[in-house]
Structures are given as structure tokens and as C-alpha cells.
Amino acid sequence: MGELRRDPVKNRWVIIDPERPDREAALKVEAQPPPPLAGPCPLCPGNEAMTPPEIAALGEPSRQRNQPGWWVRVTPDLQPLCRIEGDFDRRPEGPFDVMNAVGAHEIVVESPEHHLTWAELPEQQLERVLRAYRLRSLDLRLDGRFRSLIVVKNHGDAASILQHPHSHVLAFPFVPHGIEEELRGCQEFYARKERCAFCDIMLHERVSRVRRVEETDHFVVLAPFASRFPFETWVLPLRHASDFATIDDGELVDLAGLMKRMMQMLGKVLGNQSCTIVLHTAPFDEPHTNDYHWHLEILPKTATVEGFGWGARLFVNPVTPEEAAALLRQAV
């Protein structure tokens, strides 16, 4: 019989049942062929004029802005979800609340090379990518209009028009619903226990080890107890911190190596590294210093989500996190 497991932060029950008939599909990610590139890649070196002017870059000291020679380059997204200019114009519309979609939507071009994945990028290059996230987080909070920041990396997203390795940095005047839920859960947990919920989870999982995938000097990777998706993992810093931007250089180097290995493991186990990686970090204006713990969530694109998921947020996961962790550990 399957189990109902409750996520201690979000208080969300998940059905975990390895006897589900869709289990086989969940153990393989279908490799989707990337769509053919129509014309030159706007993210490749030499094509800098095809993107909006760059916001930041790491590269050769002698390099000039918007010219080749960069290692990592940050520009506004070519099709931004929200615009950096303009006023919110917060207003009521009847009983509703509405404002203009003002926000930052930047992309981090992760390498000059067009075809490398995180599993293939040199560790030093991934370190630069993480450094760019930190840089942008520190800079975007200076814009008093923005309350929150998320970073999203779609790995192997056949739907994207851009095949060149890149990730999204978004800053919003609101807190995305998924993060807000987590913050509320952590706050309620702290009010009761005067401890960070994620610290408690880590403490337990590092001792029990059944859902621990890997541990480094500064991070631990867990398959969460109430995983919504097959092979869902969380990467948590061992040092309690609510704000990703407080990551130090040693932690950055450590995390770069760890993320590369994680993508290699997923590739080995699932035959494909297609996943979404999301940075969860505290909002700028509510630091949640004691009760929140920044982390990365890795959500592999395995089986499609059943109608129950969208309709009522009822998740059914046919792969137990214990099995997922064991399979990932074996793939090291």
C-alpha cells in the first residue's frame, strides 16, 4: 500500500506509492530533440549585438563591454516576463488587485560554448555562474521596487528557443506563491519550535542517511521525505542562512562541484538531465533571518503530472525518495 507523507514546511500531503502503474515512465526521462536553430544563436560570442546591452559579465580583464572575451554574461531576457522600466501603477479593479508587470528578467549566459550542459561545464565555469547569481542578487535588491528574487534554470528544455546554456534571474515586486507558502510554513514552525525547519530536516536526514544523496564540506543533498516528483532533490547549505547572497567563496566553489556531480548523477540514472533548478531565497524586505533557510530545488522532468496535480495540488509520486536517493548514490 502507498503512503501519505506530509511535508513539514508546507503541510502538504503527498501520495508516495511505488506500485503506481506509471512508475516505469517516471524512471526514464524522454530525451526531446532540441528544435532546429533558425539563424545564428544570439547568446554565442560574436553575436553580442543580438541581445539587449549587457548588465554584467565576468571575463578577460582586457575585454570590452558587449564584445567577446566573456566567460559568463548577464543581459536582459530577449522575451522578458516583466519589464524593468515603468511604474507599478498599483490599482484596484473592482474587488481585485492589479499592477503593471514591472520586474527584472535577466538571463545568465553560462558559457561561451553553445552545447555544454551543467554536467559538462568545467567546475570553474559553474562557479562563475553561481557568482553571477550572487552579484545580481546583491545588485537587484538595491532597487527598492523589488521584494524578491528567484533563479530558474531549465535544463534540457526543448520548448526554449535558446539552446545555448543559460539561466533566468527574476526580481519581482511580490513574492512568488511557492516561496510565500514556504516562508509561512517556516515561520509557523519557528513560532512553535524556535528552530529552523530546514535545519531540523537536515539534522535528521544526515543521521538517518536513507534520503541523503551526497554531502560535501558545506552542503547536503536530500531527496525530500514528501517528494512531489520522482527524483526531486534539495541542495541545502549546512550553515544556516536565509539569504543566498551570503554564500562565501569557499561555499561557492563547493556548490559548483556539487551541482556538476548532481547533474551527472541524474543523467546516469534517468538517461537525461532534463530538470528545473530553482533557487529559493528569502525576500529582500523580509529577511526571515532565523526561520528561513535558502536552498536549491532540483525537479527532474520525468513523468507528466497527472490531472490531480493541477486540479487540486494533489501529488502522486511513484518513486520513493529512499529509492531515488539510493539510485543517485550508486551513480556517483
Active site members: 166
Options 297, 317, 325, 327; binder of a second copy; rule CB under 8 A: 297
**293 has binding-site annotation:** no
Nearest to 328, CA basis, from 271, 268, 275 = 268
Binding of residue 311 to a second copy (CB under 8 A) = yes
C-alpha dihedral (171, 173, 178, 184), degrees to nearest 10:
120
Size of residue set near a second copy by CB under 8 A: 71
For 134, residues 6+ apart whose C-beta sits below 8 A from its C-beta are: 244, 245, 247, 252
Binding mask 143-182 for a second copy (x = CB under 8 A): -------x-x-x--x-x-x------x-x-xxx-xxxx-x-
Please state the closest distance from residue 75 (CB atom) to a second copy, in A: 17
Binding of residue 125 to a second copy (CB under 8 A) = no
Binding of residue 31 to a second copy (CB under 8 A) = no
Binding of residue 312 to a second copy (CB under 8 A) = yes
Binding of residue 310 to a second copy (CB under 8 A) = yes
For 194, residues 6+ apart whose C-beta sits below 8 A from its C-beta are: none
Please state the closest distance from residue 155 (CB atom) to a second copy, in A: 9
**44 has binding-site annotation:** yes
Chain residues 65-84 in contact with a second copy, contact rule CB under 8 A? 79, 81-83
Cα–Cα distance between 141 and 138 in angstroms, integer?
A: 6
HSE value, Cβ hemisphere, 13 Å, CA-based, for 95: 0
The residue among 158 and 331 lying less far from a second copy, judged by its C-beta, is 158
Taking a C-beta distance cutoff of 8 angstroms, is the pair 27, 270 a contact?
yes
Binding of residue 225 to a second copy (CB under 8 A) = yes
Q: Give the number of other Cβ atoms within 10 Å of residue 150's Cβ.
A: 17
Choose the binding region for a second copy from 17-25, 212-220, 252-260, 282-290 (rule: CB under 8 A).
17-25
Choose the binding region for a second copy from 2-10, 30-38, 39-47, 114-122 (rule: CB under 8 A).
2-10
Chain residues 84-113 in contact with a second copy, contact rule CB under 8 A? 86, 93-102
The residue among 73 and 153 lying less far from a second copy, judged by its C-beta, is 153
Quick one: which H or E segment has residue 328?
Answer: helix 321-330
**115 has binding-site annotation:** no
**275 has binding-site annotation:** no
Edge-to-edge strand order for the sheet containing 166-172? 56-59, 70-76, 104-109, 166-172, 148-155, 275-280, 295-300, 233-237, 219-222, 212-215
Options 26, 278, 282, 328; binder of a second copy; rule CB under 8 A: 278
Binding of residue 8 to a second copy (CB under 8 A) = yes
Binding of residue 63 to a second copy (CB under 8 A) = no
The three grid cell numbers given for residue 31, joined into one nine-digit string: 530525451
**Coil, helix or strand at residue 258:** helix
C-alpha dihedral (131, 134, 138, 139), degrees to nearest 10:
60
Cα–Cα distance between 147 and 100 in angstroms, integer?
A: 15
Going by the DSSP 8-state scheme, the letter that residue 31 receives in this structure is: P
Choose the binding region for a second copy from 30-38, 138-146, 252-260, 275-283 (rule: CB under 8 A).
275-283
Chain residues 185-204 in contact with a second copy, contact rule CB under 8 A? 200-201, 204
Nearest to 170, CA basis, from 185, 152, 194 = 152
Q: Concatenate the DSSP letters of all residues of 155-185 into one string.
A: ET-TT-S--S-EEEEEEESS--HHHHHHHHH
Binding of residue 226 to a second copy (CB under 8 A) = yes
Chain residues 231-270 in contact with a second copy, contact rule CB under 8 A? none
Binding of residue 24 to a second copy (CB under 8 A) = no
Question: Which residues belong to the annotated binding site?
Answer: 41, 44, 114, 164
- Residues that constitute the known binding site for Zn(2+): 41, 44, 114, 164
